[in-house]
Amino acid sequence: MTPMLITVLGLVLAAEFVNGWTDAPNAIVTVVSTKVISRGKAVVMAVIFNVLGVLAGTAVAATIGKGIIDISVVNPQTVAASLIGLIIWSTVAARAGIPTSESHALVAGLAGAALAVNGPEALLWSGWTKVLIGLLLSSVAGFAGAYILGKIVRAGFAATPPAAAGKAFKRLQIVTAAFMAFNHGSNDGQKFIGVFTMVLVMGGVLSQFTVPLWVILLCAATMGVGTSIGGWKIIREMGMRMVDLRPWQGFCAEGAAGLTIFVATHFGIPLSTTHTIVTSIMGVAASRRLSGVRWDIARKVVLAWLFTFPICGTISFIASLILNHFFR
């Protein structure tokens, strides 16, 4: 455990903390914005189910840890550079209340940092295939699933008294929010477990890529602390300004997003939980009427997504050149 290795592992935990801090709204944005439960209770629920999700498996961790870049041709400095890009971009965006994808920031950072010192041969295209599938799922499946579910719910409960329907969906929304939090942990939390384990392999601490239990527990606890802080600006932007959500819409958005992430995690596909829940919110709002989405705010969110890859890739590319120059 050299000083460099310890520093890089510390950066992984810092990125995991930022992931919990900025992505907490993914699980609780709808349940808070519809006032089903208080923000404090929602954060506690998100912490618990995020941590349980992290403990659920390692399929996504394996994809990130050994399927994105060839760890035999990179070093800990390269990984450190990728995390620097993620932490800078995610922190700046969160302060502005813009939800970003830590998943895309991470893979873009890994790619940029690896390209700086090893060129295209450092990238493993089999893993990038899963990244592209995840991008499609998070952008399309979330919107379509919530849109269809919204239409079904509206048709099925058209004759139900509004008070009775509202009471039922408030209870159901708590269940889907917990489901969303669990799946956020099982997909997003695992990504940094994969990076942490990858660094241990690079440093010779582990002889092969096998995720130890202590790594899972450490990363889960770190993400839990980050989640406990939450991201109120993001909650306000997504659930109160971009759309005007009702409990039945929150149920549909969380249910569609949670199911999409669950399926992706099963196949080891790293996808953006942020993209998934945001597009699901857009989908269920559009199922009622297209004007239900404030498209000017949605446009700002989409632009942030588009900028994530080039910005994180560029920051990490430059950081990798600097780190590898001074720390060989």
**Model pLDDT for residues 84-131, shown as the tens digit of each residue:** 988 888 888 777 767 677 778 888 888 899 888 888 888 888 778 888
**6 pLDDT more than 70:** yes
Residue pair 22/99 in contact (Cβ under 8 Å)? The answer is: yes
Alpha helices in the chain (DSSP H): 3-33, 39-54, 59-67, 76-95, 102-118, 125-136, 142-156, 162-184, 190-202, 213-229, 232-236, 247-266, 273-288, 295-326
d(Cα 307, Cα 134) in Å, to the nearest integer? 17
- State the amino acid at position 15 in one-letter form: A
Mean pLDDT over 54-77 rounds to 80
Mean pLDDT over 318-328 rounds to 86
pLDDT at 144: 92
User: Which band of pLDDT confidence, cut at 50, 70 and 90, is reported for residue 77?
Assistant: confident
pLDDT at 15: 85
Residue pair 229/248 in contact (Cβ under 8 Å)? The answer is: no
**243 pLDDT more than 70:** no
User: Which band of pLDDT confidence, cut at 50, 70 and 90, is reported for residue 236?
Assistant: low
**73 pLDDT more than 80:** no
pLDDT at 147: 93
pLDDT at 328: 67
pLDDT at 32: 77
List pLDDT tens digits, range 13-37: 988 888 777 776 667 777 777 788 8
- State the amino acid at position 122 in one-letter form: A
d(Cα 145, Cα 148) in Å, to the nearest integer? 5
Please tell me the total count of domains within the chain.
Answer: 1
**239 pLDDT more than 60:** no
Span of 49-53, 129-133, 161-165, 242-246 with lowest mean pLDDT: 242-246
Percent of the chain with pLDDT over 90: 10
As a whole number, the mean pLDDT across the chain is 82
pLDDT at 242: 57
User: What domain range includes position 103?
Assistant: 3-326
List pLDDT tens digits, range 285-320: 888 877 667 777 677 777 777 888 899 999 999 999
